[in-house]
Amino acid sequence: EPEVTQTPSHQVTQMGQEVILRCVPISNHLYFYWYRQILGQKVEFLVSFYNNEISEKSEIFDDQFSVERPDGSNFTLKIRSTKLEDSAMYFCASLEAVFSGANVLTFGAGSRLTVL
Amino acid sequence: AQSVTQLDSQVPVFEEAPVELRCNYSSSVSVYLFWYVQYPNQGLQLLLKYLSGSTLVESINGFEAEFNKSQTSFHLRKPSVHISDTAEYFCAVSDNSGGSNYKLTFGKGTLLTVNP
C-alpha cells in the first residue's frame, strides 16, 4: 500500500537553529499538509499546499515557517530559527483529492523535533 | 470553522470488555467524519470514516462508529477490546465541500488502555 514517508524520524537541535523536515507524499496525490502535535496535546493544522502554493495556513504558521516542493516529489517544512515551543511531532499528510468524495488524508509516521 | 470535542482524555478498560469513545463536533457546514488511531511510537492511521450513506460505519478490526446528525456526534464503539487496541484515538472532521482544502480538524484524543 502506498505510504507517506518522513525523515528524519527524530531530530534534536539547539534553539535558534534552522531545521528542515522532509516528506515524500504518495505519488499521485495533489494536496499536501503539515500538522504538529505538541506532547500531550491535540494534532494541529499548520499548512496546506496545492498547485505549488500555500492554499491555507494557520496562525501557528508564522514567518519562521516555510514549505517547499522543490523537485516534484519531496515536500519540506523549514523552521528558520527554532524555539523551545517548536518541540513537537510533525506529521506530513497527502490527499489524492478524488472529487467523487473519497477525500481521506494519508499521514506519515511523523518527525519528532526536540529543541534544546 | 469546525471544532471537535473528545470528552474523555483517558479510558482504561479490561480485555474483552466493551468500550465507547465519545466524539462531538460543531460545524456550520456539512462534514465528513473520521477516526484515526495512533499506536505507540507510530503515526496516524485511518480507522474509519463517514462520508455519506449509512450512518453506521465499521472498520476491519471490529470498531464501529455511528454518525448522529441531531446530536452532532460520532462515537466509536467496540463490543470486545483486545490488548492490541491500546492506542490513542483521534476524532476528526473536515468540510465536505472541499472549501477548506479538505483539511482535518482534530479532537484532543482519547488514550484507550486495555488491561489484562
pLDDT digits (tens, 9 = 90+) for A39-88: 888 899 999 998 899 999 999 999 999 999 988 789 999 999 999 999 99
Q: Which residues contact B88 (CB under 8 A, 6 or more apart)?
A: B37, B38, B109, B110, B111, B112
pLDDT digits (tens, 9 = 90+) for B40-95: 878 889 999 998 888 899 888 899 999 999 999 999 999 999 999 999 999 999 88
A105 has a chain B CB within 8 A of its CB: yes
Strand duo A88-95 + A75-79: pairing: unpaired
B45 has a chain A CB within 8 A of its CB: yes
Yes or no, beta carbons of B102 and A109 under 8 Å apart: no
Cβ-Cβ contacts under 8 Å, B102 against chain A: 31, 48, 95, 97, 103, 105
Q: Are B34 and B51 in contact (CB under 8 A)?
A: no
* Residue B112 CB neighbour total at 10 angstroms: 21
pLDDT of A97 > 80? The answer is: no
Mean pLDDT, rounded, of chain A: 91
**Mutating which of A105, A111, A112 best tests the B interface, going by the most B Cβ atoms within 10 A?**
A105
Q: Are A6 and A110 in contact (CB under 8 A)?
A: yes
A97 has a chain B CB within 8 A of its CB: yes
Position A113 scores a pLDDT of 97
Task: Dig out the grid coordinates for B1 from the structure.
Answer: 470553522
